[in-house]
């Protein structure tokens, strides 16, 4: 065997051994469309810790992109192997111009499209509804965000607070649970669970709920209140307590703009001042002329 052929043979063996070693240590490639792409940073620093940890540190007006989502931060560390980023400072996620999320800290798993945000978290949709909390998990793949350490949703003049909440971007529904309070110029509500749609401004009752409107209290566990149009339907034997009367019926419907009310099924009306009781299968009320 000539010297040249011997050298070529040894070189091929060496290349094969390197290829086999690389295949055994490098993580499988992720979907290229989900790769976090660096758009801008003022300073860069690269550090290879091991085969699964290649860290790219970025600082100064950091901008990254993943498909149609843009990420902004003061500084960030990207693991190029796992496609995970930790970002710090003034965080802003622009998710296709339909949803904007802000915080001071972000950990984002690019392959799963899952974000964990912490400190001064705000989630703002394109209708102007604002969710604020201190910790938020946001599944950007499903368009679902939730908090479990207390938070608030502000939609125009309506404010809802709770311990837990889950936001569905596609439908604009928010399901609140534990110590739920809704405050609106017309009504205040307190319950353990409530569903609210920020697009339609409809609150749906899914648990025993107390509604306070001036001197009037309503107790219900079913139905909805349309805060935009001031219309409501209550079910499952709701009760109204006013300063001068109480009403119980199988279900009730109200149009507060017109001052109209309708009570259906086993209606019991009691005038607390005179002690008079009226039993009926159906009762109508007109608030404008104070008549039943």
What integer is the mean pLDDT of 130-158?
96
User: What is the model's pLDDT at position 239?
Assistant: 98
**Please, which residues bridge with residue 192 across strands?**
none
For the chain, give every residue range classified as CATH 2.60.450.10: 29-141, 181-292
CATH class of 181-292: mainly beta
User: What is the model's pLDDT at position 96?
Assistant: 84
**pLDDT class for 112, splitting at 50, 70, 90?**
very high
CATH class of 29-141: mainly beta
User: What is the model's pLDDT at position 166?
Assistant: 97
């Amino acid at each position: 065997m000539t010297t040249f052929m011997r050298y070529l043979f040894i070189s091929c063996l060496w290349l094969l051994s390197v290829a086999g070693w690389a295949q055994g240590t490098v993580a499988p490639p992720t979907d290229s469309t989900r790769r976090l792409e660096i758009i801008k940073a003022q300073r860069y620093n690269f550090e290879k810790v091991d085969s699964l940890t290649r860290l790219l540190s970025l600082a100064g007006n950091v901008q990254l992109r993943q498909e149609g989502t843009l990420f902004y931060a003061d500084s960030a560390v990207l693991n190029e192997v796992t496609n995970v980023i930790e970002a710090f400072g003034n965080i802003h996620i622009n998710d296709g111009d339909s949803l904007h999320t802000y915080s001071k800290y972000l950990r984002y798993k690019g392959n799963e499209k899952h974000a964990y945000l912490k400190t001064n978290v705000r989630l703002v949709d394109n209708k102007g509804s604002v969710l604020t909390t201190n910790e938020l998990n946001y599944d950007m793949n499903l368009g679902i965000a939730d908090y479990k350490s207390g938070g608030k949703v502000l939609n125009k003049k309506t404010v809802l607070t709770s311990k837990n909440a889950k936001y569905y971007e596609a439908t604009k529904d928010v399901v609140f649970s534990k110590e739920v309070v809704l405050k609106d110029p017309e009504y205040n509500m307190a319950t353990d669970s409530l569903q609210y749609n920020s697009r339609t401004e409809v609150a749906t009752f899914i648990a025993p709920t107390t509604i306070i409107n001036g001197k009037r209290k309503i107790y219900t566990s079913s139905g909805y209140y349309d805060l935009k149009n001031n219309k409501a339907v209550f079910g499952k034997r709701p009760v109204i307590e006013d300063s001068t009367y109480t009403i119980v019926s199988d279900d009730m419907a109200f149009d507060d703009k017109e001052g109209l009310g309708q009570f259906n099924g086993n209606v019991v009306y009691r005038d607390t001042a005179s002690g008079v009781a009226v039993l009926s299968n159906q009762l109508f009320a007109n608030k404008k002329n104070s008549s039943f």
